[in-house]
Amino acid sequence: MHVVHISFECYPVAKAGGLADVVGSLPKYLQQVGAESWVIMPHFDIEWVRNHQLETVHEGYARLGEERFGYKIKREYSDILGFPLYLVDVPGKLDRPGIYIDPNSDYPYWDEYERFASFQIAALDWMKSFSKKPDIIHCHDHHTALIPFMMTASPVYHEFRSIPSVLTIHNGNYQGWYDPGKKALLPKIEPEREGMMYWNGRLNALSAGIRTAWRITTVSQSYLQELQQSCKGLESLLSFEKDKSLGIINGIDTQVWDPQTDPLIISNYDSETFPEGKQKNKKWLCGQFDFDPELPLFVFIGRLVDEKGADLLPDLIVRFLETGLKGNFLILGTGEPWLHQRIEQMKDQYVAFFNASLSYNEQLAHRMYAGSDFLLMPSRVEPCGLNQMYSLRYGTIPIVRSVGGLKDSVTDYSEPGGYGIRFDQFNLDDAYIALQRAVSVFADKHLMQELQKKAMSRDFSWYSSAEKYHNMYQSLIKEK
């Protein structure tokens, strides 16, 4: 079986969000369960690409409307990622220092549609030259969602119609809405299929992919159900296509995220030695930020944006500290300027109880998972979420809102077999009660260690997720 993943991101090559983590991990584990998996992504002008040896394996020309453009396909030959990586080089469009955002202006590139379209057209044009076509073409998010549409609706790509296509929705809030006139930049589309491109009078790349892909997946079962209720106008379409949709929760790379071998943490430990190991990591962390290691340590790691519920954090932490509860809070991340300002004020106001590093720091993130007691994830939206899985792996109890993948991966400790803390509504009162419960758990040393041990026993490796994708691919091949 030969599977080709087509994505605008892939960790560690180019990352803007969780999409990159999935595309950088899933193919590696698919290889291990017997599915030869390639990744095709853009050739950006970024450090990782410049620092790795690439070899041109194909050169071609394609059309973007009236414009004829040249492209090159380059392969990274070391296979350092665990799967073959191919980069699409379209000079003037993809060879830029930003993935989506121009670093010189901090705004999205003005020719976003042309960049996405040229990438997708070049990828399809290259695959046309294959003597043996892939068994599955797996696309990720709206940036590549026009590929299933073009495979179905364009006579230029008629030879792909019998190849099953999969579209994974990592975040349904981003859909690729464009002016209807942009259709002219695509290859010829059969008139009777043109309507599949549009939603509410505009070109919508995600809706085109949902209509035409053989199978739709989301990154958790709960997120699939949520999209059918709320998806920026596509709810009815996703409900209509529910029979070809399924949710498969992401995994984590357990070779990178392993407290037993992690070179970035202060002291390694496993599910037997965690009481001593976590305490050593906590002592170091508290020493860095002037905290009392005898108090519960709550951390937030991630983007400081509304989607992640970060706007709730300042008032939640202030209420906790002002009502006499004892605990320490540490934030790591970047995001909204007003939140940065509020957090800096709180650092001065609550010395020895609150601190933050307003940055992206991979080493500190690992040390926070290893050295903290509780991880805060009060997300408004969370298609899957990986941080709660990292925290469980390191014996840190996640405090999560019951939404999306958080709901699927964290069971409240009040339920049989539970190991985490959940709250339902996005409001200050529910989140505060969750913190009160955490303080009670921390005070009961036996219960705390019991939950930590349960947490560390959870299996969120990619193996089980990769098996589910592999089974789905096999069923699609049988449908051909």
Q: Is 15 annotated as a binding residue?
A: yes
31 Cβ neighbours under 8 A, 6+ residues apart: 37, 82, 83
Segments making up each domain of the chain, as ranges: 2-251+463-479, 274-459
Q: Are the C-beta atoms of 364 and 355 separated by less than 8 Å?
A: no
Question: For residue 51, how many other CB atoms are within 10 A of its CB?
Answer: 7
**The pLDDT of residue 62 is above 90:** yes
314 has a pLDDT exceeding 90:
yes
Q: Mean of the per-residue pLDDT values for the chain?
A: 97
Q: Residue for token digits 């690439």?
A: 54
> Average pLDDT for residues 28-44, to the nearest whole number?
97
pTM comes to 0.90
**Do 2-251+463-479 and 274-459 show the same overall fold?**
yes
Asked whether the beta carbons of 40 and 4 are under 8 A apart, the reply is yes
Please count the other Cβ atoms lying within 10 Å of the Cβ belonging to residue 49. Answer: 19
- 274-459: CATH topology is Rossmann fold (3.40.50)
Q: What is the mean pLDDT of residues 2-21?
A: 94
Residues 6+ apart with CB under 8 A from 264: 362, 363, 366, 367
Helix or strand or coil: residue 172? coil
Q: pLDDT digits over 257-313, tens only?
A: 999 999 999 999 999 999 999 999 999 999 999 999 999 999 999 999 999 999 999
Rounded to an integer, what distance in angstroms lies between the CA atom of residue 57 and that of residue 86? 9
pLDDT at 432: 99
Q: Is the pLDDT reported for residue 412 higher than 90?
A: yes
Res 390: pLDDT: 97
Distance CA 346, CA 342 (A): 6
Res 480: pLDDT: 81
Contact 164, 217 (CB under 8 A): no
C-alpha–C-alpha distance, residues 143 and 200, integer Å: 19
- Whether the pLDDT of residue 360 is over 90: the answer is no
The Cα 75–Cα 87 span in angstroms is 6
- Kindly state the helix (H) or strand (E) to which residue 404 belongs, with its residue range: helix 404-409
Query: Could you give the percent of the chain with pLDDT greater than 70?
Result: 100
End-to-end CA distance of the chain: 14
Say what the pLDDT of residue 79 is: 86
The total of other beta-carbon atoms located within 10 Å of residue 319's CB is 15
Fold (topology level) of 2-251+463-479: Rossmann fold (3.40.50)
